[in-house]
């Protein structure tokens, strides 16, 4: 079954962009997912196909009109969740990505300018998702991030050898560090244990390394990991 992505944007030519290459690009060619990037301007009003207007209450910038957005959604809405990319949304997480990838696909709404009229977000019960606590110039790059993360989890996209079961966030920890040849480089040796062939010892070393890295780099993830494992300190 094809996982279907529809993107509503003022810049449909930005898609598939980077998702036309490598893993996602090959999966697109093989029909493991499909992409339909729609121009919001097609639903614009009047001779100039206006999609935005000045904000009620005053202030800088322009706001995307609810009637224009709603018409664009009517054209494509089905059983898929509708996601609006916005800095005020819930931060995108691997578990959210997994849930989206397990469904039929997604309709993504990309904002521009100051943002989107709040009423259409509520009227269409959109899920508001952010890709981080910083402001982008538009939702398109955020949509590419979300799609990339979902597509690599679709069945058949990644080979069995690089399946996503051991990677960062899959068990609440960051991943252990990786090493390849040469065994010694610039005076730095690969950790001895990785050359030992002792798989149990290697697994134990990797678990400890993942815990140490998470504790050091992401104390927030570490605290959450400890509380789910029932040994919060």
For 59, left (φ over 0), alpha (ψ -120 to 50), or beta? left
Distance CA 175, CA 209 (A): 8
Looking at the DSSP bridge assignments, the partners of residue 39 are: 9
Stretch that binds ligand SAH, among 2-10, 128-136, 151-159, 171-179 (CB under 6 A): 128-136
Q: Which of 23, 62, 76, 136 binds ligand SAH (CB under 6 A)?
A: 136
Q: Which residue has the tokens 């981080």?
A: 132
| Closest residue to bound ligand SAH by CB | 111
Distance CA 207, CA 177 (A): 10
Q: Which of 105, 115, 172, 222 binds ligand SAH (CB under 6 A)?
A: 115
User: Looking at beta carbons only, is 12 or 115 nearer to ligand SAH?
Assistant: 115
Q: Which of 38, 86, 100, 144 binds ligand SAH (CB under 6 A)?
A: 86
Binding-residue total with ligand SAH (CB under 6 A): 19
Tokens of 105: 């696909």
Distance CA 69, CA 9 (A): 10
Stretch that binds ligand SAH, among 19-27, 28-36, 138-146, 186-194 (CB under 6 A): 138-146
Looking at the DSSP bridge assignments, the partners of residue 64 are: 52, 116
What is the CB-side half-sphere exposure of residue 15 using CA atoms within 13 A?
27
Q: Does 112 bind ligand SAH (CB under 6 A)?
A: yes
Residues 87-106 that bind ligand SAH (CB under 6 A): 87-88
Which residues of this protein are in contact with ligand SAH, per CB under 6 A?
Answer: 85-88, 110-112, 114-116, 130-132, 134-136, 138-139, 142
């Amino acid at each position: 079954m094809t996982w279907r992505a529809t993107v509503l944007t003022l810049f449909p030519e930005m898609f598939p962009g980077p998702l036309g290459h490598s893993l996602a690009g090959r999966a697109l060619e093989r029909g493991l997912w499909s992409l339909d990037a729609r121009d919001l301007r097609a639903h614009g009003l009047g001779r100039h196909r206006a999609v935005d207007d000045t904000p009620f209450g005053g202030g800088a910038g322009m706001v995307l009109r609810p009637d224009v957005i709603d018409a664009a959604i009517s054209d494509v809405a089905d059983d898929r969740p509708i996601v609006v990319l916005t800095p005020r949304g819930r931060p995108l997480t691997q578990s959210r990505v997994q849930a989206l990838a397990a469904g039929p696909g997604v309709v993504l709404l990309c904002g521009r300018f100051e943002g989107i009229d709040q009423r259409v977000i509520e009227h269409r019960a959109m899920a508001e998702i952010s890709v981080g606590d910083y402001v982008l110039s538009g939702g398109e790059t955020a949509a590419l991030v979300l799609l990339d993360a979902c597509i690599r989890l679709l069945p058949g996209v990644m080979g069995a050898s690089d399946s996503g079961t051991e990677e960062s966030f899959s068990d609440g920890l960051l991943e252990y560090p990786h090493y390849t040849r040469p065994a010694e480089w610039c005076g730095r040796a690969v950790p001895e244990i990785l050359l030992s062939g002792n798989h149990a010892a290697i697994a134990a070393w990797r678990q400890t390394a993942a815990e140490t890295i998470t504790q050091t780099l992401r104390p927030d993830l570490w605290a959450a990991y400890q509380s789910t494992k029932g040994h919060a300190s």
